[in-house]
Each structure stands twice: as C-alpha cells, then as structure tokens.
Structure 1
Amino acid sequence: MKKQHVNILGINFINIRFEEMAEELAARVGNEQKAFVVTANPEIVMYADAHQRYKNILDSADYVVADGTGIVLASRLLNTPLKERVTGFDLTLSLLQKADQNNWSIYLLGGRPEVNAKAAENIKLTYPGLKLAGNRHGFFDWKDPAVVDDIRETKPDIVLVALGFPKQEQWISLYKDYFEKGIFIGVGGTIDILAGKAKRAPILWRKLNMEWLYRLLKQPSRWRRMLALPRFVVKVMKK
C-alpha cells in the first residue's frame, strides 16, 4: 500500500501513526532491509528551506517523520493534517525495546565521549536482550574509515546517529550505501537523555505541547535555535 505524505514547506512528511511507524521499521529490521529515517522539527524544516543540499538529503530519506508539535499544527493550518506526532525520542525507545525483545544489535554513534560511554552502559543495563554491536563518540574525522569499517564489520540492525542536525543526516546520507542493512536514524539530543545527562519534559508539558518551552527553560542557550519557530509559523501562515 502506497504511503501518504504531507508536504510542509517543501518537505514530505509521512502521514502515519506512531505505532504504525514503529512496526514498519521493525519489519524492515526483520527483512534485513535498510532505512534512512529523519525526525524533523520546524528548526530542521527551516534549515532545509535555506540550504538546498540539506533539503536534497531529506528528500532522499526513506522516512521523514513529524518530530515537532509545530509540524503537526502546521499540517492542520495547511488543511492537510498529519495523524499524529512521531518523536525521535519515542521512536528510539521503541527500537530499543524491540531490539531487547528480538535480540537485535545496536550501534551508537555520536555525542561527547563521556555521554556516549554512559548512554551505551545504560542501554546495556536497561535492555539486556539486545546486542551492543559497538559505540563511538561524535568527535571523529569523517575521512577516517575506522567508523565505517566498524559498522560494516559488526553489521548492526539499528544505528543511532547522535551528531546533531544537520551533521547526523549528512553523515547517514554520505555513508549509508556502504552498508548492507540497518535502520539509520538521527537521534540528536536523545543520547543525553539515554546517558542520564538530561531529562525529557514531564508528561503534562508534553500533553500541553509545551515540550519546546521546557527545553528552553532548562537550556537557555537554545534561544538562538528557537528563533526558527516564529519564522516557521510566519512562513506557514503565508502558505
């Protein structure tokens, strides 16, 4: 069955519910297929709008899911409503849970050295049924073949890439064809939560669609990045 998409400022978001998306990726793993997943919020959409090469990368992805509440609200304003939000954090947890249940292998790439090491440790403790194929921090020379060779050798079922946007999508786009299989997904700051270095917004904040404000209050240094939100709203309203 052909998947439905919703176009928001030139980016095609798959119109799917969270559980359906999780099952689709699980099926890909079961069939040893590859998939490139982008979890896009308004900030990513605005960056793609200003950088054609990055937009081309998003266009090449197998799935672009609506990570931000702003994306879902924009789809309603455009009269092409998305079914629901599919967050990168929840998708990551779902993949880890399924890996735990099915003995799948995981590779964790990115983050600061101490964050990557702690996240890997916590993943092994929380999900003892999965295999940790390997882990590398995000401070490496992209021209050094060691990381690609390591992933090719270990053949993980899922590769969590936490280099932050746009680097994580750029890295996946550049190297995914080197691998036979694997779900490649950019997970950004999720690695900090997995490492216990940051906390997700409480459930009430999430239900009120105010998770972005919670993150801003916890990390005031994000205010420059948050400037993309009003520009995103204005651009959508013009549509």
Structure 2
Amino acid sequence: MKNNVNILGINFLNKGFNEVVELLSERIAKGIKTFVVTANPEIVMYARENDEYRKIVQEADYIVPDGSGIILAAKILNTPIQERVTGYDLTVRLLDLANQNRWRIYLLGGKEETNKKAVANICEQYPHLVMAGSHNGYFKGKEDKIADEIKAANADIVFVALGFPRQEKWISSHYATFSKGIFMGVGGSIDVLAGEVKRAPVVWQKLNLEWFYRLAKQPSRWRRMLALPRFLVEILKVKR
C-alpha cells in the first residue's frame, strides 16, 4: 500500500489513525519539528486555486485526510486511503498523550473568550499536561512577538486555530524560527474544545454526514460547502 496518495496535487499520508498518532508521538519524543496539515476538500480546492497556499501545504511534513470527501475521492481514483484522520480527533488524542507525558501545549487562536474557555476546559480534563501558553487569534502587527512567545514557552505541541488559510500561512512564515514542536492547524476545533460548538453525534460521523450536521447547526457555512460539489467534479474529471 502506498505511503502517500495524491488527490488533486496534494499528497495525503496513507496511514491509520493510530499510526499517525504514534508517528507524531515519536517525533515529539525526539524533539523533531513537524508541520501537520489536516486537509479536507475545501482546503484541497483552495490550494488548487491558490499557488501560494498550495506551496505551503505541499511543504508540510504530513497532510492527513480530514474529511470523508477525501476518503471517497481516493476510492474513486482507485488509490484508497486507510481511514479518515480528523483534526479534532487528532487534537484530542494528542492532548491525552500530553496529559500522560506532561508535554507542553500552546493554544493559538479563537476569540479571547473562546480561547480562555478552551484553555480552562483543557486544563480541567487533562490536569497533568503543561499549558505553556495561549493567545487569541487577534494579533495583527504582533506576528513576531507571538512567535517569540511560543519559542519562550518551549512548547511540544502548538495548536493553531486561525482557520485556513491563515493558520497554515502563519505556521509556514514562522516555522524556520522554531527548533522543536508539532505545529498543526486545528481550525474550528477550538470552538468544540471551548464547549461553544458540539461535535456531530457518533452516528452522524459513522455515516460520513458530519459535514451535514455542521451545516445544519451553522447555516452560515453554506458558501464554504460549495467547494464539495466542485471537488467531486474535479475528481471525476481526473478519473475519466
């Protein structure tokens, strides 16, 4: 089985969820700096249409398939990917391991209140990890200052919840200045961690309808969802 599967120019890591977690855990233990992109069809389509962003995503150490549409596309192209690796699930598992190993965590992004709620909930649920620092997502003009703060925090994992493409752009522009740490864009996961948004029930997840549940709960997302049919059209073109 291929280690990577190319979907419209983006190379997805083809490993099971537990394998991905083990891989990242080993890199944290060894102090190996790592840039992780959790990509769904929206991100793939944006990368396809934006050269700068595509280059940033392609330079990531690992791109994992966050989205049932990616799994479906891989099947259509006869290059199946083992399983979906969602950003939220990966975040929760890494927090659990951080709790076990006393890893240092930094949370960047979200509104001030959302960030504080997420930090409080993380500290309550994972009391043995080290919350090395946090900052909301509103720091225009203070980009370098935030990077310096994260370096000073000596974080093992930096969750960047700025939404795409901003989160990946921020990681890319400062990545060279860091010597260690997992850097992962987690988008709306911070809202779930803060308790402001509920994740879809397991039954919806198993039916690959989590996207529909989120749309029903947040109708304002409908414009973003337009990327899904365009993504499928492009996949079928490649298939033909």
User: Which residue of 1 is the match for residue 154 of structure 2?
Assistant: 155
User: Which residue of 2 is the match for residue 171 of structure 1?
Assistant: 170
In 2, the alpha carbon distance for the partners of 1:73 and 1:168 equals 26
CA deviations 1:102-121 (Å, max 9, x no partner) are 00000000001100011001
Which amino acid in the other structure matches residue 69 of structure 2? G
Instruction: Trace 1:1-239 onto structure 2 (pairs within 5 A).
Output: 4-239=3-238
Which amino acid in the other structure matches residue 123 of structure 2? K
Unmatched runs of 5 consecutive residues or more in structure 1: none
- After TM superposition, the score normalised by the length of structure 2 is 0.97
Using the TM superposition, name which of 104-113 and 136-145 deviates more: 136-145
In 2, the alpha carbon distance for the partners of 1:4 and 1:144 equals 35
CA deviations 1:85-135 (Å, max 9, x no partner) are 000000000100000000000000000110001100110010001000000
Deviation for aligned residue 1:146: 1.9
Deviation for aligned residue 1:142: 4.7
Which amino acid in the other structure matches residue 124 of structure 1? C
CA deviations 1:59-90 (Å, max 9, x no partner) are 10000000000000000000000000000000
Question: 1:145 aligns to what SS in structure 2?
Answer: helix
In 1, the alpha carbon distance for the partners of 2:208 and 2:35 equals 27
> Alpha carbons of 1:21 and 1:97: their partners in 2 closer, same or farther (altered >3 Å)?
same
Q: Which runs of 4+ in 1 moved over 6 A?
A: none
Question: 2:139 aligns to what SS in structure 1?
Answer: coil
In 1, the alpha carbon distance for the partners of 2:107 and 2:141 equals 16
In 2, the alpha carbon distance for the partners of 1:48 and 1:148 equals 25
In 2, the alpha carbon distance for the partners of 1:43 and 1:200 equals 19
> Alpha carbons of 1:142 and 1:168: their partners in 2 closer, same or farther (altered >3 Å)?
farther
Deviation for aligned residue 1:145: 2.5
Question: 1:39 aligns to what SS in structure 2?
Answer: strand
Which amino acid in the other structure matches residue 168 of structure 2? E
In 1, the alpha carbon distance for the partners of 2:67 and 2:77 equals 16
In 2, the alpha carbon distance for the partners of 1:58 and 1:77 equals 23
Percent identity between the two aligned chains? 58
CA deviations 1:23-48 (Å, max 9, x no partner) are 10000110011100000000000000
In 1, the alpha carbon distance for the partners of 2:88 and 2:74 equals 21
In 2, the alpha carbon distance for the partners of 1:98 and 1:144 equals 29
- After TM superposition, the score normalised by the length of structure 1 is 0.98
Unmatched runs of 5 consecutive residues or more in structure 2: none
